[in-house]
A and B are shown apart, each in its own frame.
Chain A
């Protein structure tokens, strides 16, 4: 019964993608859209295979682009986690931290990550640091916010259990607050990962010579929609894989989250 359901889900999922690809292909062959503007799926697959080893016409092979982008996104994302999670957790738990940082954070929060670009360019120039910083800014907010809310939502009763058994504030933070916040921290990390991956294209507009964002930009300049689409789909697939890996990690670290 359960196996049957799984199979059905898998078939439907594939069917969804197949129908989408079919319409896309038809759009080209029936001439609804010029294949010059929108490359057909078969062209895209051919370009994808070609780009695995061929650096032309944009200067690097696809694996080189992927590696460059991945490095950038992971530096920005990693920094956002390392700073955002502890800050969010301590702000959510210790009143003094909250009162000190909250007003500052509330002002910074609504500034869109892209609005940082000019000032970052002025301060950090146009190197890797600047690009990683833009991704950091984008990924930082969901990381901090979810950790903050997560630990704030710790049930008072559970804190009282620890208090009555004589726990210190630090013990309560690590043994009650932290594990209680963990599921929301993970949600934050997942959103952050998505955001950092999405900000990539914008960050790589700042004078890159390699990277998936650069490849897409380049494809537009030389009017090669197949290259643009290969770049877009690569971003999509890698993003999905990263989120999947995070979910696996979450199941390992927070197994109690999966209810019956």
Chain B
């Protein structure tokens, strides 16, 4: 087990009287790829927003490298559900955005940008604006931008929710590849169980509101995984049974 990167202690969130997150605790190792699955509307997004401090918890704490999580101190990245490339920046300037906010040295910014452009295959389109590209290319810009920081923690909130199967498969492989090359720690939220089993080393299964961690399922299948593999199918089935809400 690698050293702990993220420690979540007794995290609780209430909106007024509504208890959304109830006493959630777990740890995530450095460089780990973790998926969060749970029924739609179970508070997964609330949970991510808490992790990056977009909202404050009612109780509990989140530690990154032993310190309270803080976007100004830690390098965090977020891939949101909806398209989030800056329409006024070209592909390469979009990728540089986070690096510039964090005031990385110029040569590092250039180097990382080249590397990310190559990784997501947008080198030719570097001078174009997002609206000149397809939706999937826009999501690739966002992924490149998020990984370019080599973030301590990368959070992805159903980034492929809107895409068709072919694109999803393609981008899933891409994320795995970039994750391996950059050594980032990734928390990936999805309600697609097959996606979760395909991607993650561990799968956190959440319950319906108020959200708690029901089980943590380690998935030790080797990459690249085969969705038709009987072992794969049995894990998928097992997790599906756990979150059955119908």
Contacts and interface: CB of A to CB of B under 8 A. Distances in A.
Contacts of A254: 88
Contact of B101 (A160, A166, A180, A259): A166
Interface stretch (A53-61, A81-89, A171-179, A217-225): A171-179
Contacts of B53: 164
| A contact patch SS | helix
B87 A157 contact: no
Choose among B54, B73, B80, B88 the residue with the greatest number of A CB atoms under 10 Å from its CB: B88
Given A160-B78, A176-B86, A260 B102 contact: no
Interface string B4-27: 000000000000000000000000
Contacts of A256: 87-89, 129-131
Given A171-B101, A175-B101, A256-B131, A164 B76 contact: yes
Interface string A153-172: 00101101111111110010
A182 interface: yes
A163 B88 contact: no
Interface residues of B, number: 29
A255 interface: yes
Given A179-B88, A180-B88, A165 B101 contact: yes
**Interface residues on chain A, size class:** 20 to 34
B87 A161 contact: no
A260 B87 CA distance: 13
Interface string B53-89: 1100000000000000011111111101010101111
Contact of B77 (A165, A167, A182): A165
Nearest to B129: A256
B88 A164 contact: no
Contacts of B72: 166, 168
Contacts of B52: 163-164
B232 interface: no
A27 to B, nearest CB: 49
A259 B87 CA distance: 10
20 contacts: A155-B84, A157-B82, A158-B84, A160-B54, A160-B78, A160-B84, A161-B80, A163-B71, A164-B53, A164-B76, A166-B71, A166-B72, A166-B73, A167-B101, A171-B101, A179-B86, A179-B88, A256-B87, A256-B131, A259-B131
Given A166-B70, A256-B89, 20 more contacts: A155-B84, A157-B80, A157-B82, A161-B78, A161-B80, A161-B97, A164-B52, A164-B54, A164-B71, A164-B78, A165-B77, A165-B98, A166-B72, A171-B101, A175-B101, A176-B86, A179-B89, A254-B88, A256-B129, A256-B130
